[in-house]
Amino acid sequence: MEGKPGAITIDPAEGAKLGYHLLSHMRFYHPTFEDLVPFVVLLMIRSMVNFQCVADLQASSQWSKPYPYSINDSEAGKAWVTVVLPKLRGAQASEVANIPRAVSFPSLVTPWSHPYQILKSVQSITAPLRLEVNRRIKELSRKEYRTAKENKELERLQFIQDDMFIYRTNDGITSIKYVTREGSRFQNLPSILSRYGIKGGIRALRDVGLQFGFKASGHNLLVLHMLARHSSRATAAAYAHRQEFLRKSEELFVKIFDASIALVRAAKYSLANLKKVLRDSGLEDWQIENVLDPTNQSRYGNRCASPRSAPPQYSGGTPPGDLCRKQDCIDGCPLARFLPDALPFLVRRWDELRTNLSSVGLAAQFENILSQRLRNIERILARYPAAAVTKEKRLLAHQSQASR
């Protein structure tokens, strides 16, 4: 079949393209990750569950049950079903009593874009692939002697044989759950989502419904708590604050930090100019004096306008009158100001965050505080002279190599 036309696929650069290789023929029967993404997108938007919840679903599990209530005068259990998905992440039993190990929600039975039909479709299109997995397991199990490669393949196939979201790659058959377990990243996921016009990443899919429900309810935390299935209302409150914080922090960095860094780039940096910029940014004279004091420097290298009276949301519980303990000014603290001498600190924090994010696998693709801090640092670094930033990064790399 090599050289013969196979399935039409979507190339990231060229769009719809007729495939001629073996994998393009197999796509008629064996889906790839790209084929499953639209189902994952719709399921997360409709159900408001997280990505791991979707990945952990087993094909043989009883993932749908009769819905016991009547809605809009329809007969109970006919127009609706209850969809049940596993919840293997989140709060632990030691933290929250009687925590459920599954999430459930109602779904219309008929519409193709609702969770019930989405999962029925995925179960159907992955069925031939699941048969192939079981066939290959039997074939490998019968072998008296197996190579290390075959042992690794058998282990993988036994792990994924009942996963709902299985797919074929050039290297064999795997599943979304297996990839997340291995700590690997879906390198092509951002480009696939972008192809469908989704710019906010995988976490944004769940946030669509949560934010809509939160706003439609008049910003009711109890409603958000119920929709997100958080283990406590405190978690819901933290979620609501995080969403607002992530949105505002970007605006804050553009507004506060651009002006002073612009002075450095324009070679107009002087004490008088700096004082004017700081005053124009909303600081009072006593706060400006704090900013100009080099001892008021945080772990991100910025100066603090009021180190003993940090805003409550940024203080980390520091007692009034004490020096700020948290020093996470990069999160958008309105008292933070970055001057030229912050550059070495910023580059070190930039390197640390990149290292931390590279070690968390799939989690790095979710919207989280580490990725937000990394973006904020990169946004500030972009305002410094490029040659100075490059020099500082090379110096850090040289120091790292010398210490090994």
Burial 327-355 (b: 16+ CB within 10 A, else e): bbbbbbbbbbbbbeebbebbbbbbeebee
Say whether 338 sits in a helix, a strand or coil.
coil
| Cβ atoms of residues 40 and 32 within 8 Å | no
207-211 mean pLDDT: 58
Tens of pLDDT along 229-280? 444 444 445 444 555 544 554 555 555 555 545 445 545 556 777 788 778 7
- Res 392 pLDDT > 50: yes
Tens of pLDDT along 288-313? 888 888 888 888 888 888 988 888 87
Supply the pLDDT for residue 220: 47
Among 156, 138, 159, CA closest to 148: 156
Query: What is d(CA 400, CA 202) in angstroms, rounded to the nearest whole number?
Result: 34
Query: Which stretch of DSSP H or E encloses residue 92?
Result: none
Among 374, 395, 297, CA closest to 339: 297
Question: CB under 8 Å to 361, separation ≥6 — which residues?
Answer: 180, 182, 183, 184, 185
Task: Name the pLDDT band for 70 (thresholds 50, 70, 90).
Answer: low
| Most confident range, picked from 10-14, 28-32, 127-131, 371-375 | 127-131
- Res 223 pLDDT > 50: no
Q: How far apart are the first and last CA of the chain?
A: 52
Q: Is 316 left (phi over 0), alpha (psi -120 to 50) or beta?
A: left
Tens of pLDDT along 108-158? 888 888 999 999 999 999 999 999 999 999 999 999 889 999 999 999 999
361-380 mean pLDDT: 69
Torsion over CA of 171, 172, 173 and 176, rounded to 10 degrees? -10
Supply the pLDDT for residue 245: 45
Query: What is d(CA 166, CA 133) in angstroms, rounded to the nearest whole number?
Result: 10
185-207 mean pLDDT: 68
